[in-house]
Amino acid sequence: MLLNQKTDAPAGTEGLVADTTTQGFVKDVIEESRKHPVLVDFWAPWCGPCKTLGPVIEKLVRVAKGKVKLVKMNIDEHPAIPGQLGIQSIPAVFAFVNGQPVDGFVGALPEDQVKAFIDRLIGPVGSDTAELIKAAEETLKSGAAAKAAELFAHILAGEPENLQALAGLARCHIAASNLEPARATLALVPKDKENDPAVSAARAALGLAEQAKSVGDVAPLEAKLAADPLDHQARFDLALALNARGNRLTALDHLIEIVKRDRKWNDDGARKQLVQFFEAWGGNDEATIEGRRRLSSLLFA
């Protein structure tokens, strides 16, 4: 059971910092870390650096407002757990996630380094969900799909049905060409929320990735098109392949070219594909804005 809670904690932060014992370690740390990350601060009353680190890490945990908890263990009174973990110097801080130690540090680090340590676990400390979503989206846009996936996963750890985070995580999998995990992530969306714009965009992106997988590499398609510029199917397939590789504007060029040359080709297939591109890219994407402008000028000229 968690012991000796601080009584002067800011409103809404009670229970985020507590002491534990050898007997309580499994419940307070192992089981609790299956819900959210838990930091364990191993300290002793005679340790000067422990007195420096303690207030810093407690402050940052409270700023995180429930995204991480801090459990403190006095190694003089409870030496068994530190011994099992091989701790030879204090202060020592271990981060537990899903019942396992995943990171740690030794010594009284300055506040900015402690904050960076916590950020790696939960995203930027003090950020609300909207800010974390924005950071994850920007990270994904930069091409760092794995890092973006970590940020979306942190959001989902606290909000399992957050639609933007579910859709974002699915798009991270798609960017990494991991289509099966993307499908599994989208399957977690509640049935009554499947028409959410973020979810629809992720499903459209998954559909495009599946299409691109079926058309193959770019080079053979480029060769076919060079041999016959009127081969609309080759141009169409090339657009899919280019989009899958992140070359949105060139993919757009090819589909616009088909619409320009033969608007009715394949039952208006090029225009319909452009609409799917726009849905997957998002309304504010520069390629979507450019594509809609160019398509409108053709259709309503």
Q: Which residues are annotated as catalytic?
A: 47, 50
Task: Look up residue 179 and give its amino acid.
Answer: L
Tell me the two tokens of residue 61. 């945990």
Smallest Cα–Cα separation from 161: which of 122, 139, 192?
Answer: 192
Phi, psi dihedrals of residue 97, rounded to the nearest 5°: -135, 130
- Which pair of tokens denotes residue 186? 């989208």
Distance CA 92, CA 98 (A): 20
Phi, psi (rounded to 5 degrees) for 172? -60, -45
The tokens of 48 are what? 């000067």
Please give the DSSP secondary-structure letter assigned to residue 30. Answer: I
The answer to whether the beta carbons of residues 238 and 221 sit under 8 Å apart is: yes
CB 252 within 8 A of CB 240: no
Name which of 115, 113, 154, 116 is nearest 132 in CA terms: 154
The SS3 assignment for 63 reads: helix
Cα–Cα distance, 30 to 143 (Å, whole number): 34
